[in-house]
């Protein structure tokens, strides 16, 4: 009886470990550096969702809610299959802003990724940047905080991704 219970417990533990290995299988290594950079600056994760393609088991994106004292931020980092796919997605975003007549400033932040766009409203700003095949949205307020967080994330993403 004890051997059967022990085997069942070991089986469950092994299954949990295998599921975790599959879920983290193709997460980019630089994602950990992004998290560490934010933590060093005092940001704490309050919620995090990582999305893995169920068929290919490859990393798709991560969505993180952060808090630093009284400031809150939302970051979404997505990795496309190729640089050209990321470029196309970024250009589609710019087209969407144009069609909806949303005021957007393209490449406002010099040196932030390969291209970036800032969209704001009363009391908020959203910065989206592309670096290689990675597209990142950063949404904290005020704008200076958004830029600082975006630069932290961009610095942790390698040029060849």
Domains (range + CATH), the chain: 27-156 (3.40.1000.20)
Q: Rounded CA gap, 160 and 138, in Å?
A: 21
Do 96 and 113 contact (CB within 8 A), yes or no? no
* Weakest-pLDDT range from 9-18, 79-88, 130-139: 9-18
The pLDDT of residue 42 is above 80: yes
Mean residue pLDDT across the chain: 85
Taking only the tens place, the pLDDT of each residue in 85-136 is: 999 999 999 999 999 988 899 999 999 999 999 998 777 899 999 999 999 9
């Amino acid at each position: 009886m004890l051997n059967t219970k022990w085997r069942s417990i070991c089986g469950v533990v092994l299954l949990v470990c295998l599921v975790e290995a599959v879920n983290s299988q193709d997460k980019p290594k630089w994602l950990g550096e992004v998290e560490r950079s934010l933590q060093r600056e005092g940001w704490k994760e309050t919620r995090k969702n990582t999305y893995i393609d169920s068929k290919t088991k490859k990393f798709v994106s991560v969505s993180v809610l952060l808090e630093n004292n009284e400031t809150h931020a939302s970051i979404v980092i997505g990795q496309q299959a190729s640089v050209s796919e990321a470029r196309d997605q970024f250009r589609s975003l710019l087209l969407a802003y144009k069609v909806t007549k949303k005021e957007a400033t393209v490449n406002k932040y010099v040196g932030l990724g390969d291209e970036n766009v800032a969209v704001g409203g009363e009391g908020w700003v959203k910065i989206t940047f592309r670096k290689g095949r990675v597209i990142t949205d950063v949404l904290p307020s005020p704008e200076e905080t958004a830029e600082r967080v975006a630069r932290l994330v961009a610095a942790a993403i390698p040029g060849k991704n």
